[in-house]
Amino acid sequence: MPMVRIELLPGRTREQKARAAREITDAIVRTLGAKPEATQIVFAEVARSDWATAGKLADES
Protein backbone atom coordinates (compact mmCIF):
# COMPACT_ATOMS: atom_id res chain seq x y z
CA MET A 1 0.00 0.00 0.00
CA PRO A 2 2.72 2.54 -0.54
CA MET A 3 1.25 5.95 -1.33
CA VAL A 4 3.78 8.31 -2.88
CA ARG A 5 3.41 12.08 -3.20
CA ILE A 6 5.92 14.05 -5.26
CA GLU A 7 6.02 17.84 -5.09
CA LEU A 8 8.01 19.32 -7.93
CA LEU A 9 8.41 22.48 -9.95
CA PRO A 10 6.35 22.68 -13.18
CA GLY A 11 7.80 22.06 -16.62
CA ARG A 12 7.88 18.30 -16.99
CA THR A 13 6.03 16.76 -19.90
CA ARG A 14 3.36 14.13 -19.55
CA GLU A 15 5.80 11.62 -21.04
CA GLN A 16 8.39 12.42 -18.38
CA LYS A 17 5.83 11.87 -15.64
CA ALA A 18 4.69 8.60 -17.24
CA ARG A 19 8.29 7.35 -17.27
CA ALA A 20 8.86 8.58 -13.73
CA ALA A 21 5.72 6.78 -12.50
CA ARG A 22 6.89 3.57 -14.14
CA GLU A 23 10.45 3.65 -12.87
CA ILE A 24 9.62 4.83 -9.33
CA THR A 25 7.02 2.08 -9.03
CA ASP A 26 9.56 -0.46 -10.25
CA ALA A 27 12.06 0.77 -7.65
CA ILE A 28 9.47 0.54 -4.86
CA VAL A 29 8.40 -2.97 -5.85
CA ARG A 30 12.03 -4.09 -6.11
CA THR A 31 13.35 -2.58 -2.90
CA LEU A 32 10.35 -2.53 -0.55
CA GLY A 33 8.53 -5.63 -1.70
CA ALA A 34 5.31 -3.74 -2.47
CA LYS A 35 2.75 -5.00 -4.94
CA PRO A 36 2.63 -2.88 -8.10
CA GLU A 37 -1.17 -2.56 -8.09
CA ALA A 38 -1.09 -1.29 -4.50
CA THR A 39 1.50 1.38 -5.30
CA GLN A 40 0.08 4.81 -6.04
CA ILE A 41 1.93 7.96 -7.04
CA VAL A 42 0.60 11.51 -7.08
CA PHE A 43 2.50 14.39 -8.72
CA ALA A 44 1.79 17.84 -7.27
CA GLU A 45 3.26 20.75 -9.21
CA VAL A 46 4.29 23.75 -7.18
CA ALA A 47 4.76 27.08 -8.97
CA ARG A 48 8.15 28.74 -8.57
CA SER A 49 6.37 31.62 -6.84
CA ASP A 50 5.06 29.16 -4.23
CA TRP A 51 8.34 27.43 -3.30
CA ALA A 52 10.96 29.04 -1.10
CA THR A 53 14.42 27.91 -0.06
CA ALA A 54 16.40 29.87 2.51
CA GLY A 55 13.51 32.33 2.71
CA LYS A 56 13.59 33.20 -1.00
CA LEU A 57 10.92 32.24 -3.53
CA ALA A 58 12.27 30.19 -6.43
CA ASP A 59 11.32 32.89 -8.95
CA GLU A 60 13.36 35.61 -7.23
CA SER A 61 16.43 36.69 -9.09
Which residues carry out catalysis? 2
SS3 5: strand
Site membership for its own copies, residue 55 (CB under 8 A)? yes
Contact present, 61 and 49 (Cβ < 8 Å):
no
Site membership for its own copies, residue 31 (CB under 8 A)? yes
Site membership for its own copies, residue 61 (CB under 8 A)? no
Site membership for its own copies, residue 10 (CB under 8 A)? no
Residues 34-53 that bind its own copies (CB under 8 A): 34, 36-37, 39-46, 49-53
Pairing mode, strands 3-8 and 40-45? parallel
